[in-house]
Amino acid sequence: MPAPPLTSPSQLHAAAERTPPGAAAAAAAGPVAVAGAAGAASPASGIAASRADVAITPGLPAGRSLARLCVAVVLCIWVSFILVARGSARGTLTPWDIAWLRFLFSGLVVLPLAWRFRRALLGGLTAEVNGLRRHAAGAPPTTVAVRRALALGLSGGIGYCLLAYSGFFLAPVSHAAVLLPGSLPLWSALGAWWLLGERPTASRWAGLALIVAGGVAVAGASLREAFGGLGTWRGDLLFAAASMSWALYGVLCRRWRVGALHATAAIATVALVLAVPAGAVGWAIGAVPSGLAAASWREIGFQAVYQGGLAMLVAGVAFTQVVAHYGPVRTTMFTALVPPLAALAAVPVLGEPLAASALLGLAGVTLGLLVGAGVVGWPGRKAAGTAGAAGAAP
């Protein structure tokens, strides 16, 4: 779910219900997205951006043509992220290599901008609701910003990427589609209930139940295959863990009111400072497996630019504009297309067949996303098309 898509559908649903008119606008970046009202954006998730995020994105008016273009860009990148990550298992690079290249490229791009706008980044990481109230725990703002940047970078960056990329080397695309972006609303809703005190509504409970059913269909098939010696279940566990990691990142973004661009900058900077040197040292002493020395420059360059540039940075900015124009609920209609599109595309592109269990899982998570968002009618709730947040940007 690249970034993480940087937002999760459940976060979008909550933002639609909680965000006052004019405040909603977008996640890294897992699978990401998944902030003003919510947080950032990942290829596997969705978060609403603050007005400040839109204000510091020059040259990106939320016009109708641009919004449609951004929808196409986000869908293409999020779907292709799953396909590229799975296809990378047939290449020379290891999951650690791919994550390292992502962190290196995105970090080198973002670091000069983060330094240039360091005061705005500091304010974005320490500001509370509407930017009017500062952290009152007694710690200096810089200390608070560093702590929060570390938490976001470890959950939405380093943790998500290493878990997700490792999963793609063990399990097929159909499993990733169900358990990575598909299960993200489940973990996000549980995290929001735990950390934010947001109890899911009846329609969201119904959507989450469908998502769980879809996950059980896929996981059950993997467990049956495990008795035959296949290790697909290990990839499924890694996908679920990656989805949990990204969900934690999204909930923290919402709790701290960190905008999409600020969160993306924090992830890129933390990963560059921590993961890139650690990976280099690990390879030097032989503690981390690597195929960089045997890989071609073409493969290395593609992974660096795609994972660090398109999947993390471009998708995050584009998703911000989609939510700004269409609103959180209508945006979920687009993100719900990612799991089935990725699984269907894997058949001709990667030659991976769709098993009956995978089809059941895809049906469950896709319907669950739509029911939870209110796109598919549920007793006691109006259709999404009549909801105020479903229109163009408030």
pLDDT tens digits for 322-360?
A: 777 776 556 666 777 888 899 899 999 999 988 888 888
Is the model's pLDDT at 108 over the cut of 90? yes
Is the model's pLDDT at 380 over the cut of 80? no
Contact 16, 327 (CB under 8 A): yes
The average confidence (pLDDT) of the chain is: 76
Structure tokens at 93: 């690079």
- 77 confidence band (pLDDT: 50, 70, 90): very high
pLDDT for res 308: 94
Q: What percent of the chain has pLDDT over 90?
A: 31
Contact 384, 329 (CB under 8 A): yes
Strand partners, 134: 127
pLDDT for res 350: 92
